[in-house]
Amino acid sequence: MTDNRPTPDGVLRLINGYWATGVVGAAAGHSLFTHLEAGADTAAELAERAGIAERGAQTLLDGLVSVGLVQVHEGRYRNSPEASAYLVDGKPTSLSNFAKLKLKHMAGLAALPDVVRAGGPVRDAVVEVADNPHWEEIVTAIAAQSVPAATLAAEVLGLADAGAISILDVGGGSGVYSGIWLEANPAARSTQIDWERINTIARRLLAERGVADRFTTVSGDFHTTDFGTARYDVALYSHIAHQEGPEDNIAVFSRLRTALKPGGALVVCDYLVDDDRSGPAFPLMFAAEMLLKSKQGGTWRRSDYQEWLGKAGFTEVSFHSAPPATLVIAR
Ligand SMILES: C[S@@+](CC[C@H](N)C(=O)[O-])C[C@H]1O[C@@H](n2cnc3c(N)ncnc32)[C@H](O)[C@@H]1O
């Protein structure tokens, strides 16, 4: 006889979901994925290389096997393909700094019951506070997330062969898109609007990539900074729409339509949810982050973007998957 009664296993794993944040953040903090990649494959070796207790190393390895980031075979451990691609220090796609940062953010979730009652942040507002130091920590930690999306957008738009184009990046953060696009196209130029402290970080990172001479920054609030008229071939709005409400997104899209040359393209990158709000999983959950940190943000539906871009004067809209994000390209 088969027993189809549900077990508590899945619910218990969710209730204790913070264990995963802790184990992944601590493993990143001690560069475990990097040591595994370099060939250390037992708890004893990892403990020695990382300077941690062997009991601690074994516990982290057990947790990492549990979440599928590390594989074990006859007592030897190795990174899963995902861990190898996204958690090894020094790789352009490495999210290990982000894993460390999220471990620090975990305590903030204790406010969620109050936040849902209030419908927005009850303390530690982030998004609406001008020039908030929060961004300094976050922009470099999230830069790697944008590598696949920036690469895909460059392919879709044929940026490498587009000649002497000019690009506007609104809220460009680390400047990761400009870095990738300016490297791909040696005739392109890019302008980033962000807060001065963030622009300083971006200028340093773009100098390290050797493209700073084609990178300009404008410091200030993008809600009020003039974008100009018919000045740019490509405009970018990456991971900004989720911090804004519908009215502000429409207003920015309209100003970007004006700032683009005729035929120019707006690239939006964000966590889009399906129109019936049934998925995908990551964007659905990300709405909680925006409830905690912004007064009006959220994860918006494909139909929202379509409607807002139409109101802003764009006539062609296409969607391109860059999981867990989606690129929206509008002309
Ligand atoms: C989530 S980060 C996204 C960074 C980058 N676009 C990316 O995709 O990696 C948001 C960025 O927008 C900037 N930002 C947020 N609100 C802003 C505002 N009102 N004016 C100017 N910049 C702002 C922050 O400083 C930060 O660099």
Residue closest via CA to ligand 1's atom 4 equals 173
* For range 6-20, the mean pLDDT: 96
Alpha-carbon distance of 77 to 65, in angstroms, equals 9
* For range 302-310, the mean pLDDT: 98
**What's the pLDDT score for residue 124?**
67
Checking DSSP bridges between strand 232-238 and strand 260-270, what pairing results, if any? parallel
CATH assignment of the domain containing 98: 1.10.10.10
**What's the pLDDT score for residue 152?**
98
DSSP string, 211-278: -GGGEEEEES-TTTS---SS-EEEEEEES-GGGS-HHHHHHHHHHHHHHEEEEEEEEEEE-PBPTTS-
Residue at 8: amino acid letter: P
Q: Of 295, 267, 310, 274, whose CA–CA distance to 115 is shortest?
A: 295
Alpha-carbon distance of 316 to 267, in angstroms, equals 12
Mutate to test the pocket of ligand 1, among 95, 98, 134, 139 (most ligand atoms within 8 A of CB): 139
* For range 145-164, the mean pLDDT: 97
Instruction: Compute the distance from residue 173 Cα to the ligand 1 centre, in Å.
Output: 5
119 within domain boundaries:
no
Residue closest via CA to ligand 1's atom 26 equals 173
113 within domain boundaries:
no
Contact 99, 87 (CB under 8 A): yes
131 and 100 within one domain: no
State which ligand 1 atom lies nearest to the alpha carbon of 240: 10
51 within domain boundaries:
yes
Q: How confident is the model at residue 128 (pLDDT cuts 50, 70, 90)?
A: confident
The tokens for 323 are 């999981």
Judge whether residue 201 has pLDDT over 60.
Answer: yes
Burial pattern 293-322, b for ≥16 Cβ within 10 A else e, equals: bbeebbbbbeebbbebbeebebeebeebeb
**What's the pLDDT score for residue 2?**
66
59 and 24 within one domain: yes
Last residue of a domain, one of 108, 134, 157: 108
Last residue of a domain, one of 80, 108, 136: 108
Last residue of a domain, one of 108, 133, 164: 108
Residue closest via CA to ligand 1's atom 20 equals 221
Instruction: Compute the distance from residue 171 Cα to the ligand 1 centre, in Å.
Output: 4
Judge whether residue 239 has pLDDT over 90.
Answer: yes
**Backbone phi, psi, residue 15, to 5°:** -60, -35
* For range 163-175, the mean pLDDT: 98
54 and 153 within one domain: no
Instruction: Compute the distance from residue 230 Cα to the ligand 1 centre, in Å.
Output: 23
**What's the pLDDT score for residue 1?**
56
43 and 132 within one domain: no
303 and 163 within one domain: yes
* For range 114-128, the mean pLDDT: 87
- The three-class DSSP label of residue 75 is coil
**In whole angstroms, what separates CA 176 from the centre of its chain?**
11
Mutate to test the pocket of ligand 1, among 127, 135, 249, 293 (most ligand atoms within 8 A of CB): 135
Q: How confident is the model at residue 133 (pLDDT cuts 50, 70, 90)?
A: confident
169 forms beta bridges with: 192, 236
Instruction: Compute the distance from residue 321 Cα to the ligand 1 centre, in Å.
Output: 22
Q: How confident is the model at residue 126 (pLDDT cuts 50, 70, 90)?
A: confident
Instruction: Compute the distance from residue 85 Cα to the ligand 1 centre, in Å.
Output: 26
Higher pLDDT, 124 or 220: 220
Contact 286, 277 (CB under 8 A): no
53 within domain boundaries:
yes
Q: Give percent helix, percent strand, percent coil of the chain, each to the nearest 5.
A: 50, 15, 30
Contact 276, 308 (CB under 8 A): no
Q: Which domain holds residue 47?
A: 9-108
Give per-residue pLDDT as tens, 259-303.
Answer: 999 999 999 999 999 999 999 999 999 999 999 999 999 999 999
- Verify whether ligand 1 is closer than 6 Å to residue 240 (CB atom): yes
- Verify whether ligand 1 is closer than 6 Å to residue 267 (CB atom): no
207-211 long-range Cβ contacts below 8 angstroms, 24+ apart: 209/179, 209/182, 209/183, 211/178, 211/179, 211/182, 211/183
326 and 235 within one domain: yes
State which ligand 1 atom lies nearest to the alpha carbon of 142: 9
pTM of this structure: 0.94
174 and 74 within one domain: no
- Verify whether ligand 1 is closer than 6 Å to residue 205 (CB atom): no
- Verify whether ligand 1 is closer than 6 Å to residue 223 (CB atom): yes
Q: Which helix (H) or strand (E) holds 79?
A: strand 76-79
DSSP string, 115-169: HHHHTS-SS---TTSTT-THHHHHHHHHGGGHHHHHHHHHHHHTGGGS-S-EEEE
**What's the pLDDT score for residue 98?**
96
Q: How confident is the model at residue 212 (pLDDT cuts 50, 70, 90)?
A: very high
131 and 87 within one domain: no
Residue closest via CA to ligand 1's atom 11 equals 171
Percentage of the chain exceeding pLDDT 70: 99
Residue closest via CA to ligand 1's atom 19 equals 221
Tally of structural domains, the chain:
2
Instruction: Compute the distance from residue 10 Cα to the ligand 1 centre, in Å.
Output: 36
